[in-house]
Amino acid sequence: RIGSATSLSSAVINTRLQELVRLFKERTEKVKEKLIDPDVTSDDESPVASPTKPAPAPVVPAPGGELEDKPSGDDHYCEMLCCTFKSRPWLDRLKSYQFPSSIDPLTNLMYVLWLFFVVMAWNWNCWLIPVRWAFPYQTPANIHYWLLVDYLCDLIYLLDVLVFQTRLQFVQGGDIITDKNAMKKNYLRSQRFKMDVLCLLPLDFFYFKVGVNPLLRFPRCLKYMAFFEFNNRLEAILTKAYIYRVIRTTAYLLYSLHVNSCLYYWASAYEGLGSTTWVYDGEGNSYIRCYYWAVKTLITIGGLPDPKTLFEIVFQLLNYFTGVFAFSVMIGQMRDVVGAATAGQTYYRSCMDSTIKYMNFYKIPKTVQNRVKTWYEYTWHSQGMLDESELLVQLPDKMRLDIAIDVNYNIVSKVALFQGCDRQMIFDMLKRLRSVVYLPNDYVCKKGEIGREMYIIQAGQVQVLGGPDGKSVLVTLKAGSVFGEISLLAAGGGNRRTANVVAHGFANLFILEKKDLNEILVHYPESQKLLRKKAKKMLKNNNKPKDEKGGPGDPLIIPPKAETPKLFRAALAATGRMGGKGALGRLRWRLKELKAMQ
């Protein structure tokens, strides 16, 4: 028992001594590292405080001794008679909804939706007033339906004036004005208010004297400013606005034909239906037949009967002149719309044609020309432009930063080298990132070259090559991976590439150059110290396996010799001082020869 207790205590003491020796070694290494690099202040990054969780509320038992089961806060219940029903949350939100006191006309989607209803009411008046005036479609039997829709459109006009236009924000002296009285006065002083009052003139009271004449509602068509505002707001939120522009231009053409067909029926009724070969004969669908005549006239197809009377000749001449003018305007506007939609494609084709012409002039090999063409096609189809910086150069610095944060921050924030650095430094670094596209089998970097960039994989994959032949795939890096970050801060020859990196397929990489990072770190000394310390640690960890473990693929021609004993080295030194004579001298000379061979 005494022996076992003694051995146990000695084992405990031995363990404790080993632990103390290990602690002393770690402390010595820390002091040594601090003496070598004075910038090092602490060994670890300052920990980030984790968000505190609220303590759960204590469960209070009911008076009867049982726990009361209450519905959670996320559920909505209503009591009716003796039962409890789950109510709909949208109904509660609808009851508590308050109309905004001010509306931003540039970004508020609710305002764009309201403009849609206003434009629909405006189109009703513009399209149906000529039809009801010219064609016999408005009869005493259906007059109440026409009036019902008419006054519904008038109600939309009135709500737009009283509710929406008086709440629109505006800019004055660089400030966004949201005051109710100021917004109301700004609307009352605008040209928009004058046109809105003019289009709401109550000419309907003349119905009691002259009957329900649709021409008395013609002022309702003067609300065209709402139509153009709706076009601007809708084009701002559409991803392919050129499609809407083509539809709108086509609607202009159809409306001009619509008005011309109404005028032709009115002229036929004025001359008498079927009175001559030129007028409408009254057979078939009147609107379709007149619209067909308007298409042939405005587009100047020909094949129409000759006018007989002076009125018919003047009317036909005016139609021809109007048709040529309107048709040329429509073609020119359609050309502008299509040209604006394909402006990017035209720029891409011109750049590619110029590059091909340059390569043909200097007789560049076909293999290189094919790779250049492939780069142009892939870059254009993948990102829709050849250089992203050309798109962002027109934006203010703050907006470029916002776009860079949304696109690149999630990737850069995961880089181990930059974790713990100043957040603003990361933001400044995001604006310096440059996007580059690599083709399949392109070398991103080669072994032994000086590393001046860090690479972040945005899309695609790259392969790290190594081995005796330099072609073995060591690892495949995918989207979100980072490599080359140590080269940004390494010094003293530690910034050379240690392996070949090749693009596996098409790869889109973000590049951060060393000079850009150095310009940024001048303003963030604390982050510079932290980055320098991290780079040294990462470089040290990367070199440890190479120093401690010999690679199986690098066999030694002559195995390393064992260390010479100290007594034997002293004897050899004494022999050297005596002139190198004797057996020891010859042995010393032999060892030198072996060392030179090794």
Residue 168: pLDDT above 80? Answer: yes
Instruction: Return the pLDDT at 56.
Output: 46
Tell me what pLDDT residue 100 has.
86
Amino acid at 340: A
The answer to whether the CB of 45 falls within 8 A of the CB of 531 is no
Q: CA geometry: angle at 86 spanning 85 and 89, to 5°? A: 145
| Burial category of 432 from C-beta neighbours within 10 Å (exposed 0-12, middle 13-18, buried 19 and up) | middle
pLDDT band at 357 (very low <50, low <70, confident <90, very high): very high
- What value does the mean pLDDT take over residues 76-103? 63
pLDDT at 35: 61
Task: Tell me if 486 sits within 8 A of 514, measured CB to CB.
Answer: no
pLDDT at 91: 66
Predicted confidence at residue 325, as pLDDT, reads 84
pLDDT at 551 over 50: no
Q: What is the pLDDT of residues 274-302, one digit of tens each?
A: 888 899 988 889 999 999 999 888 777 76
Average of pLDDT values for 474-482? 86
Minimum mean pLDDT range among 108-122, 141-155, 554-568: 554-568
Taking 80 as the threshold, does the pLDDT of residue 407 lie above it?
A: no
Say yes or no to pLDDT of 320 above 80. yes
- Nearest Cα neighbor of 114 from 61, 168, 69 is 168
Question: Which helix (H) or strand (E) covers residue 443, if one does?
Answer: strand 443-445
pLDDT at 394: 72
Summary mean pLDDT of the chain: 79
pLDDT: which is higher, 73 or 424: 424
Residue 542, CA atoms < 13 Å, CB-side half-sphere: 16
CA distance 233 to 115: 9
User: What tens digit of pLDDT does each residue of 118-149 get?
Assistant: 999 999 999 999 999 999 999 999 999 999 99
Q: Residue 546's pLDDT is what?
A: 46
Residue-level pLDDT at 545: 52
What pLDDT does residue 563 have?
60
- pLDDT category of residue 308 using cuts at 50, 70 and 90: confident
Find residue 462's DSSP bridge partners.
477, 503
Determine the average pLDDT of the residues in 19-44: 66
| pLDDT score for 55 | 46
- pLDDT of 48 reads 41
Q: Residue 567 corresponds to which tokens in the numbers above?
A: 């007594």
Q: What is the per-residue pLDDT for 561? A: 54
User: Number of H helices and number of E strands within the chain?
Assistant: 20, 10
Q: Is 497 exposed, middle or buried (0-12, 13-18, 19+ CB in 10 A)?
A: middle
For residue 276, CA distances in Å to 264, 267, 290, 317 come to 14, 12, 15, 17
CATH 1.10.287 fits 238-386, yes or no: yes
For residue 144, what pLDDT is reported? 93
- Look at 152 and 326; give whichever has higher pLDDT: 152
Residue 66 is predicted with a pLDDT of 44
What's the pLDDT at 134? 93
pLDDT of residue 107: 87
The least confident of 84-93, 215-224, 289-298, 524-533 is 84-93
Query: Which of the two residues, 517 and 154, has the higher pLDDT score?
Result: 154
The helix/strand/coil state of 204 is helix
Distances (CA, A) of 399 to 194, 285, 301: 38, 58, 53
The pLDDT confidence band at residue 73, using thresholds 50, 70 and 90, is very low
- 395-543: which CATH topology? Jelly Rolls (2.60.120)
d(CA 569, CA 587): 12
What local confidence, expressed as pLDDT, does residue 137 receive? 92
Greatest pairwise CA separation for the chain in angstroms: 145
Rounded-to-integer distance, Cα 487 and Cα 542, Å: 13
The token duo for 93 is 């939100």
**What pLDDT is stored for residue 584 in this prediction?**
59
Mean pLDDT of 525-529: 87
For the chain, which residues make up each domain, given as ranges?
96-237, 238-386, 395-543
- What is the C-alpha end-to-end distance of the chain, expressed in Å? 59
192 falls in which pLDDT band (50, 70, 90)?
very high
Average pLDDT rounded to a whole number, residues 327-348: 83
The answer to which of 14-28, 193-207, 301-315, 496-510 has the lowest mean pLDDT is 14-28
Closest CA to 432 of 474, 460, 482, 392: 392
Taking the whole predicted model, whether its pTM rises above 0.75 is answered as: no
CA distance 349 to 355: 10
Nearest-CA neighbor of 204 among 112, 281, 125? 125
